[in-house]
Amino acid sequence: MNAKMYINARDIKSRINPEIYGHFSEHLGRCIYNGIYVGEDSTIPNTKGIRNDIVDAFKNIKMPVLRWPGGCFADEYHWKDGIGEKSQRKKMINTHWGGVTEDNSFGTHEFFDLCELIGCEPYLAGNLGSGSVKELSEWIEYITFGGVSPMAELRRKNGREKPWKLKYLGIGNESWGCGGNMTPEFYSELYRQYQTYCRNYDGNQLYKVACGPNADDYNWTKVIMEKIKPWHANAISLHYYTVPSGNWEDKGNATGFTDDEYYKTLEKTRYMDTLIKRHSDIMNVYDPENKIKLIVDEWGTWYNVEEGTNPGFLFQQNTMRDAMVASINLNIFNAHSNRVAMANLAQAVNVLQSLILTEGERMVLTPTYHIFDLYKNHQGAKLCYSSIDDIRQDGYDLPVISQSVSVNDKNEMTLTLSNCSLTESVSVDTDICGFDFSSAKARILTGKADAHNTFDKPDAVKISDFSEVTKTDRGIRFTLPPCSAAEIILS
Ligand code: AHR
């Protein structure tokens, strides 16, 4: 197949907020415990109980932001249970996720340590479902107030003199579901009350995120936008998971799927584009000045759990199919970066569409991780106009190629493209306007749809150099093999 691609570097659409490449870590299964956090006494190399190899991997993809402590868990989380002497911390039941005992050994201090080690922004999900206005207000005081106050004193007593900086604060998670089964009318009123008492202390400026819709619940967005104004919230969230079968009882398996399941999964993931467009249409009516942003703070694939694992732990393998899902979604988020300010893949380690899987001291980087590596040069860059022939996959409502192009402060042009066909290579010929370059470096991820990394074969799917790029009179030419995603940097 051949495709023509047009790029205009003079036609800048928006800035790609780095946080679009964000992540999510919940007290769920082995994401935090026996995942990111192994405790200081572990034989696995760690810093304050946090695995060093995981921190290094997160740093490599320039993880810009990490959401915590949930998810559904957030609306049952009482932050005061997770501070102070560890042996004295309250133990609770994690009712949402397997009914296991939560010993609260990973709490506020440990989360901020983790973000400091990674060098990323913390994004807290505050408890509106079963907490109180006072509890949330005090959490903000505990974290961000530098003067004399009960919460600042408590923080000092627990070993942290200086306040932390906190920008991103979600108030309620899935308040239409696990976060309280609320109506949008009721939630909006509650949100306005809660957010009033989340203060900006000592120059800290909170960026407040209200709970937005579940997938295509357009009425939720409409009501929220009617009632919540830019002086109440900086953004609303959107959650959408890709479930191959569309049936939550039998979602489909992470590996061993058919070609038809592969294409249907990608078709379903493309729906993200429609969702963002339609929710943005509603937001445009109530907020034409684009002051309230959209944050897709949960997205990714959701399959049946791996056989023999705790059904409440949501552990699944990750294949080249997931890599294609990630690549398509990141290109969609880039395309909508005028309204989409952040996105958080669910979840970082050992849960759903993970970046990393661990087993004891071993860890593997998933194909999805490699996509975040390939796409990292877009962070903070300016999205420029690009278009490509709309070749459709036979029998599916699915464009074969997905693409985005940006130019960053170092005057590098980054192209990311994926070819989701399982059988056809695509030869791409580009016309580039408004950008001079003399060198091209490129990397690629490719493999069979079902290819994945295991603890015995951790490098079955890995990035390799892509030497196919040639310069032409008007731009570049290259051929994308079937089931592949590539990054090309021109400078
Ligand atoms: O990511 C797993 C769960 O999915 C989250 O806890 C919840 O917000 C969503 O339903």
> Are residues 303 and 251 in contact, defined by beta-carbon separation less than 8 angstroms?
yes
- Tokens 């005061």, residue located: 80
Count how many residues are written for the chain. 491
Interhelix angle 108-118/52-60, nearest 10 degrees: 50
Closest Cα to atom 3, ligand 1: which residue? 71
Cα(490) to ligand 1 centroid in Å equals 39
The reply to whether ligand 1 has any atom less than 6 angstroms from the CB of 298 is yes
Q: Is 240 exposed, middle or buried (0-12, 13-18, 19+ CB in 10 A)?
A: buried
Write the CA distances from 386 to 5, 108, 413, integer angstroms: 7, 43, 12
Q: Is 99 exposed, middle or buried (0-12, 13-18, 19+ CB in 10 A)?
A: exposed
C-alpha distance across the termini of the chain, in Å: 28
Q: What is the pTM of this model?
A: 0.98
What's the pLDDT score for residue 468? Answer: 84
Distance CA(137)–CA(470), nearest Å, equals 57
The reply to whether ligand 1 has any atom less than 6 angstroms from the CB of 121 is no
The reply to whether ligand 1 has any atom less than 6 angstroms from the CB of 174 is yes
Cα(73) to ligand 1 centroid in Å equals 8
Atom index in ligand 1 nearest the CA of residue 74 equals: 6
* Per-residue pLDDT tens listing for the chain (491 residues): 999 999 999 999 999 999 999 999 999 999 999 999 999 999 999 999 999 999 999 999 999 999 999 999 999 999 999 999 999 999 999 999 999 999 999 999 999 999 999 999 999 999 999 999 999 999 999 999 999 999 999 999 999 999 999 999 999 999 999 999 999 999 999 999 999 999 999 999 999 999 999 999 999 999 999 999 999 999 999 999 999 999 999 999 999 999 999 999 999 999 999 999 999 999 999 999 999 999 999 999 999 999 999 999 999 999 999 999 999 999 999 999 999 999 999 999 999 999 999 999 999 999 999 999 999 999 999 999 999 999 999 999 999 999 999 999 999 999 999 999 999 999 999 999 999 999 999 999 999 999 999 999 999 999 999 998 999 999 999 999 999 999 999 99
Six-digit token pair at 240? Answer: 């959408």
263-282 pLDDT per residue, tens: 999 999 999 999 999 999 99
List, by residue number, the catalytic residues: 174, 298
Report helix, strand or coil for 106: coil
Please tell me the chain's helix, strand, coil percentages from 3-state DSSP, rounded to the nearest 5: 30, 30, 45
Distance CA(460)–CA(367), nearest Å, equals 9
Report helix, strand or coil for 338: coil
Cα(231) to ligand 1 centroid in Å equals 28
Which residues of 119-161 form beta strands (DSSP E)?
Answer: 121-126
Which amino acid is located at 422 in the chain? L
Cα(287) to ligand 1 centroid in Å equals 28
Distance CA(47)–CA(52), nearest Å, equals 6
- Tokens 């693409």, residue located: 403
The reply to whether ligand 1 has any atom less than 6 angstroms from the CB of 70 is yes
What's the pLDDT score for residue 155? Answer: 98
Q: How many CB atoms lie within 10 A of CB 155?
A: 24
Closest Cα to atom 6, ligand 1: which residue? 71
> What are the residues facing 2 on neighbouring strands?
427
Peptide bond into 64 cis (omega under 30): no
Q: Is 456 exposed, middle or buried (0-12, 13-18, 19+ CB in 10 A)?
A: exposed
The helix or strand, by DSSP H or E, that contains position 225, with its residue range, turns out to be helix 218-227
What's the pLDDT score for residue 96? Answer: 94
What's the pLDDT score for residue 36? Answer: 98
The reply to whether ligand 1 has any atom less than 6 angstroms from the CB of 71 is yes
The reply to whether ligand 1 has any atom less than 6 angstroms from the CB of 170 is no
Ligand 1: residue of 298, 299, 313, 315 to mutate (most ligand atoms within 8 A of CB) is: 298
Cα(59) to ligand 1 centroid in Å equals 25
Six-digit token pair at 373? Answer: 């590596």
What's the pLDDT score for residue 346? Answer: 98
- Tokens 């800048």, residue located: 12
Closest Cα to atom 7, ligand 1: which residue? 71
What's the pLDDT score for residue 77? Answer: 98
Q: What is the distance, to the nearest Å, from the Cα of residue 406 to the centroid of all Cα atoms in its chain? A: 20
> What are the residues facing 171 on neighbouring strands?
126, 210
Q: Are strands 426-433 and 293-301 parallel, antiparallel or unpaired?
A: unpaired
Q: 79, 73, 128, 123: which is closest to 312 by C-alpha? A: 73
Q: What is the distance, to the nearest Å, from the Cα of residue 433 to the centroid of all Cα atoms in its chain? A: 32
Q: 457, 486, 417: which is closest to 319 by C-alpha? A: 457
Q: How many CB atoms lie within 10 A of CB 261?
A: 16
